[in-house]
Amino acid sequence: MEQLMENLLLCTFFLYLLSTVAFVMGTNKGSEKESPKSRLWGNIGIGMSIVGVVFQLMFIITRVLIGGHWPTSNMFEFTAFLCFTIVIAFIILYFMYRSAVLGAFVMPLAVVLLAYASVFPHEVQPLIPALQSIWLPVHVSTAALGQGAFGVGFVAGLIYLVFQFGREKEGKNARWLEITLVIVLMFVGFSAVNMAFKTMNYEAKFSHIVDGQPAVQEYSLPPLVAPHDSEVISIDRFAGLGQPLMEAPSWMKGKDAASQLNSVLWGVISGAILYGLIRLIAKKPLRGILHPMVSRVNPDLVEEISYRAIAIGFPIFTLGALIFAMIWAHEAWGRFWGWDPKEVWALITWLFYSAYLHLRLSRGWHGVKSAWLAVGGFVIIMINLIVINLVISGLHSYA
């Protein structure tokens, strides 16, 4: 059963990858709508993504059968689920606007997210009492669905920005666009590095003191930074690296703080190396590589998709991440709102997107400004997913 589940996830991964390839082919062949060839590739792409979603749904069902609970209870499960909702939101918007370019950018994001999810432990964990509620599937799924739509809004905004600034050599917009793309590349690099060391079964262990108690910190990547004031218990040699290069600063005292700093460093380094290689080979910045894919796109179309995805996501997010959240919090913790970091960041996300909607609908912010806001909103969502779960501890830290 566990093997079946892993295989289903693997199939999902490859289907999303194939869908990406098909959509990318679709964007290269002729102009957006007219050519029958590009329409064919678009159909293959959307077909693959639908089959992929069905496979991921089967993965979810299998996991429910094994674990007895809805799989949105830790980092692996939630990140994979967010990938699932992004693809669902994409499929809905595809049938509204029939844009193959959108698929050529959303599906790779889904692939990256799924790879990133796989970095976290896959095991089915027993559910702690606080999570034993019907609201676990209801609240988390609805919130994730809203975030999935925001994710599509982000991607469409990105396409719009690549269209506008892909060929620009310099300027603020071009620079920030490049930075955004490099950050996405860091996720790719981090996931790849993790995958590699996982297959090698890499492990390093340190002992140190947390809140006056001795603790062991485990690394799954070679330690570039060791915990502050720590001692090596064991360390697998990698490329001559038998000792950590440096120590984490003393204020990083959390249980896994140093290991997470190490992960971030690996992400940054591997992303930078990838970026360097790409630039060496292509002799173009990332935005310039992507630009030919979007050069024939109708900017009004992607601009509207970005807004529309957010407009569709906003009520769903409000329902899932705020209203359902409050009902559950009332039941589990006796108060509907408690300023837990995760709650605060859900509110921040909501406030940000309401500012976006007011700026757009009332102040007429369209085009570039609107696209940047769509990017900014997704950055907030990723902060809420990664930083709040892994770095800032609170009631929602289940990972």
Partner 1 sequence: MIENSKCECGHNNPVGTILCESCGKPLDEETKGKETIVQEMRYEGKARRSQTFQSSPFDMVWNFFSSVKVAIILIIITLIAASIGTIFPQEKFVPSSDPAAYYEKQYGLWGKWFHILGFSDMYNSWWFFTMVSLIGISLVVCSLDRVIPLYKALKNQQVRKSVDFLKRQRITAETTLTAAEADEKLAKLEQALQSKRYQVKREGNALLAEKGRISRWGPYINHIGLIIFLFGVLLRYVPGWYLDETMWVREGEVKKVPELPYYVKNEGFDITFYDQKNVPKSKQDAGPIAQKYETRAVLYEKDWDTGKLKPVAKGSILVNHPLAYKDLRLVQADFRIGLLDALDLKLVDKESGKALGKFTVDLYDLKPNQVFRVKDKEVVLLDYYPDFALENNRPITKSPDPNKPAFVFEVREKGQAKGERSWVISGQNLDELTKENRYAIDLAGMKMVDSTGLMVRVDKSLNVILFGGVICMIGLVMGFYWHHRRVWALVDDGRLYIGAHTNKNWYSLERELKLIGEFDTLQVKRN
Q: How far is the CB of 223 from partner 1 (least distance, A)?
A: 19
Residue 20 near residue 108, CB atoms below 8 Å:
yes
Residue number with CB closer to partner 1 (2 or 231):
2
Residue number with CB closer to partner 1 (292 or 376):
376
Query: What proportions of the chain, in percent to the nearest 5, are helix, strand and coil?
Result: 70, 5, 25
* Distance from C-alpha of 10 to C-alpha of 77, rounded to nearest angstrom: 14
Angle between helices 341-361 and 367-382 (to 10 degrees): 170
Q: How far is the CB of 389 from partner 1 (least distance, A)?
A: 12
Residue number with CB closer to partner 1 (178 or 247):
247
Q: How far is the CB of 196 from partner 1 (least distance, A)?
A: 20
Our measurement of the distance from residue 286's CA atom to the centroid of its chain's CA atoms, rounded to an integer in Å, reads 19
Q: How far is the CB of 132 from partner 1 (least distance, A)?
A: 6
Going from the C-alpha of 123 to that of each of 8, 141, 364, the distances in angstroms are 15, 20, 48
Q: How far is the CB of 378 from partner 1 (least distance, A)?
A: 15
Residues binding partner 1 (CB under 8 A): 121, 123-126, 128-130, 132-133, 251, 253, 298, 300-301, 303-304, 307-308, 311-312, 314-315, 318-319, 322-323, 326-327, 330-336, 339, 341, 344-345, 347-348, 351-352, 354-355, 358-359, 361-364, 366, 388, 392-394
* Distance from C-alpha of 89 to C-alpha of 162, rounded to nearest angstrom: 21
Angle between helices 75-97 and 100-117 (to 10 degrees): 170
Going from the C-alpha of 264 to that of each of 22, 98, 227, 261, 394, the distances in angstroms are 32, 37, 14, 5, 21
Give the contacts of 100 (CB within 8 A, at least 6 positions apart). Answer: 23, 26, 27, 32, 38, 41, 42, 45
Give the contacts of 162 (CB within 8 A, at least 6 positions apart). Answer: 177, 287, 290, 291, 293, 294
Element containing residue 135 per DSSP (H, E): helix 135-165
Q: How far is the CB of 49 from partner 1 (least distance, A)?
A: 22
Burial 262-274 (b: 16+ CB within 10 A, else e): bbbbbbeebbeeb
Q: How far is the CB of 383 from partner 1 (least distance, A)?
A: 9
Residue number with CB closer to partner 1 (40 or 327):
327
Going from the C-alpha of 46 to that of each of 8, 21, 24, 39, the distances in angstroms are 19, 11, 12, 10
Q: How far is the CB of 382 from partner 1 (least distance, A)?
A: 14
Residue number with CB closer to partner 1 (47 or 394):
394
Our measurement of the distance from residue 215's CA atom to the centroid of its chain's CA atoms, rounded to an integer in Å, reads 30
Residue number with CB closer to partner 1 (185 or 256):
256
Residue number with CB closer to partner 1 (108 or 377):
377
Note the residue count of the chain: 399
Residue number with CB closer to partner 1 (326 or 382):
326
Q: How far is the CB of 150 from partner 1 (least distance, A)?
A: 13
Q: How far is the CB of 167 from partner 1 (least distance, A)?
A: 20
Residue number with CB closer to partner 1 (87 or 322):
322
Residue 19 near residue 45, CB atoms below 8 Å:
yes
Residue number with CB closer to partner 1 (238 or 336):
336
178 burial via Cβ count (<10 Å: 0-12, 13-18, 19+):
middle
